[in-house]
Amino acid sequence: MGKFKFDRRHLLRSLVGIPRLKSGRRRLMRLAMGVMPDEIKHSYLRGRVRVSYESPPQLSFRIAQTQEELEQAYRILHDCYVEQRFMLPSPTGLRITKYFAMPTTTTLIACWNNEVVGTMSIIRKSPLGLPMEQAFKIGKVEEGGYSVAEVSSLAIDKKFRSHRGSLFLPLCRYFYRYVRDSMKIDRAVIAVDPAWRDFYMGILGFRDLEKRVVDNYDFANGAPAIGLWLDIPSLALQFFKAKYNHREDRYNLYKYFVEVPVPEAHFPDRRFIKVGDPVMTPKMLDYFFNQRSQVFSQLSENEILGLASVYAGSEYAKVLPQFGEHLRFKDMARYSVQTLAQRPEALDQGAFKVLDVSRRGLRAYGKAEVGQQVSLQVRVSETEEATVHGVVRWKDEGSKFFGLELTDHNEVWAKYLDYLDADFEGLLDSKEELKKAG
């Protein structure tokens, strides 16, 4: 990959709006940057980034929701990855991975006159794990029950890379606000080419996950990679404020990322607390993962079980591998959430973190013992709490996660599960199938 370093740096400049130096100064700066301490180097980079607060009217950002939008995103991703040698060309012209099949994965898109010209995927940790876990240990960022998602599959249409900063930084800003406000992610992780380390650390506030370079990262066709992580609620906010808020507006990424409204970006409405925006209908799953690729045929048994736990119902079972009609939608579906709960009789013992729920139970982080009967008040919206009662059926001694089997709940909890179910009910193809699933 070494012979592509200049191209990647040129791409970095064009993406984020760093002014291009003349050739002689560029060579000197490249040599100097190689020996500078990180803090000096990163301060220099921050001083050269320019932002614009006005976007062209043709530009918009949203979640990819249709088969056409996803196909355009996967095509741009394929072309960019092939160009950068991160994958071999596919006969389909698409890059499709198993992680895209999960309802906890969201594909963000940048559109120019409604044509997809940029994309980024946010892969929330699920039963399939994260791509990075092939090569990196992420345990330290999960400690304490923190939710984790991987930033992945970033690609910009080639004809838009010369528009300095007009696409890449707005897409990063959309990502930041989506994972902070809609996805409720605590920590983001990313695997990048080592040449991008200074950008992500110096400009966006990421930190080293491990002090090493993976020389042969399989998920990127054997390219070298390093792992980075970002604390979304606190460290990102503190970093942006400390590093940028004293600067003029055109250099102020704190104002740009945190304060200024983004009218060209579309965010989902939330009646209750929800962290996912599933879009895959059974037909779309079949199209992308059975017809346009062989992803489903290559899944392990555990991966198939993981998919079945989040896609229940006979219509989904028809397109998922090795599963029949016996799965019931509302009994079996499990939803990732991110909320807090308390025991009403023991408020002084602190809050539990509730991380996923189903009709039968929930998974939480906190202190509990197997066999213990527990009542919880679970926050399900900004103004409402649901009451549930259950028995602790399992716990993980090392991580403090436990599973609560529900024995009773109030009406607010029932409405909350109905709200979560509605995502998938809207993706089923017919009312008749919906009746079968329910």
Looking at the structure, do residues 87 and 167 belong to the same domain, yes or no? yes
Looking at the structure, do residues 385 and 340 belong to the same domain, yes or no? yes
CATH number of domain containing 293: 2.40.10.220
- Whether 138 has a pLDDT exceeding 90, the answer reads yes
Q: Please say whether the beta carbons of 69 and 184 come within 8 A.
A: no
pLDDT at 23: 52
- Predicted confidence band of residue 234 (pLDDT cuts 50, 70, 90): confident
Q: Please say whether the beta carbons of 389 and 281 come within 8 A.
A: no
- Whether 345 has a pLDDT exceeding 50, the answer reads yes
pLDDT digits (tens, 9 = 90+) for 382-429: 999 999 999 999 999 878 899 999 999 999 999 999 999 888 888 875
| CA–CA separation, 53 and 417 (whole Å) | 40
Residue 32: inside a domain: yes
pLDDT digits (tens, 9 = 90+) for 70-123: 999 999 999 999 998 899 999 999 999 999 999 999 999 999 999 999 999 999
What distances in angstroms separate CA 138 from CA 125, 131, 134, 233, one per listed residue? 11, 11, 10, 18
| CA–CA separation, 80 and 167 (whole Å) | 15
pLDDT at 424: 83
pLDDT at 326: 46
Pick the last residue of a domain from 259, 287, 304: 259
With 0-12 CB in 10 A as exposed, 13-18 as middle and 19+ as buried, what is 267? middle
| Structural domain span for residue 308 | 270-438
Looking at the structure, do residues 171 and 310 belong to the same domain, yes or no? no
pLDDT digits (tens, 9 = 90+) for 6-20: 344 444 444 444 444
Pick the last residue of a domain from 209, 225, 259: 259
Higher per-residue pLDDT: 244 or 316: 244
Looking at the structure, do residues 223 and 128 belong to the same domain, yes or no? yes
Residue 246: inside a domain: yes
Computed over every residue of the chain, the mean pLDDT equals 86
Written as six digits, the tokens of 173 are: 């800003």
Written as six digits, the tokens of 350 are: 């602190």
Q: pTM (2 decimals)?
A: 0.88
pLDDT digits (tens, 9 = 90+) for 49-68: 889 898 889 999 999 999 99
Looking at the structure, do residues 226 and 374 belong to the same domain, yes or no? no
- Whether 300 has a pLDDT exceeding 80, the answer reads yes
Looking at the structure, do residues 105 and 253 belong to the same domain, yes or no? yes
- Predicted confidence band of residue 32 (pLDDT cuts 50, 70, 90): low
Share of the chain above pLDDT 70, in %: 85
pLDDT at 103: 94
- Whether 438 has a pLDDT exceeding 80, the answer reads no
What distances in angstroms separate CA 413 from CA 20, 256, 273, 356, 392, one per listed residue? 56, 38, 12, 13, 18
pLDDT digits (tens, 9 = 90+) for 305-332: 888 888 877 788 889 887 544 444 445 6
Render the burial of 72-92: b for 16+ CB within 10 Å, e for the rest.
Answer: bbbbbbbbbbbebebbeebee
- The one-letter amino acid code at 117 reads V
Looking at the structure, do residues 191 and 70 belong to the same domain, yes or no? yes
CATH number of domain containing 235: 3.40.630.30
- Predicted confidence band of residue 25 (pLDDT cuts 50, 70, 90): low
pLDDT at 399: 80
Strands 148-156 and 187-192: parallel
3-state per-residue secondary structure call for the chain: CHHHHHHHHHHHHHHHCCCCCCHHHHHHHHHHHHHCCHHHHHHHHHHHCCCCCCCCCCEEEEECCCHHHHHHHHHHHHHHHHHCCCCCCCCCCCCCCHHHHCCCEEEEEEEECCEEEEEEEEEECCCCCCHHHHCCCCHHHHCCCCCEEEEEEEEECHHHCCCCCCCHHHHHHHHHHHHHHHCCCCEEEEEECHHHHHHHHHHCCCEECCCCCEEEEHHHCCEEEEEEEEECCCHHHHHHHHHHCCCCHHHCHHHHHHHCCCCCECCCCCCCCCCCCCCCCHHHHHHHHHHCCCCHHHCCHHHHHHHHHHCCCHHHHCCCCCCCCCCCHHHHCEEEEEEEEECCCCHHHCCEEEEEEECCEEEEECCCCCCCEEEEEEECCCCCEEEEEEEEEEECCCCCEEEEEEEEECHHHHHHHHHHHHHHHCCCCCHHHHHHHC
pLDDT at 83: 92
Looking at the structure, do residues 151 and 247 belong to the same domain, yes or no? yes
Looking at the structure, do residues 305 and 252 belong to the same domain, yes or no? no
Share of the chain above pLDDT 90, in %: 62
| CA–CA separation, 184 and 176 (whole Å) | 10
Q: 44: which residues sit within 8 A by CB, 6+ positions away? A: 33, 36
pLDDT at 429: 58
pLDDT digits (tens, 9 = 90+) for 178-192: 999 999 999 999 999
pLDDT at 160: 81
pLDDT at 317: 81
Overall domain count for the chain: 2
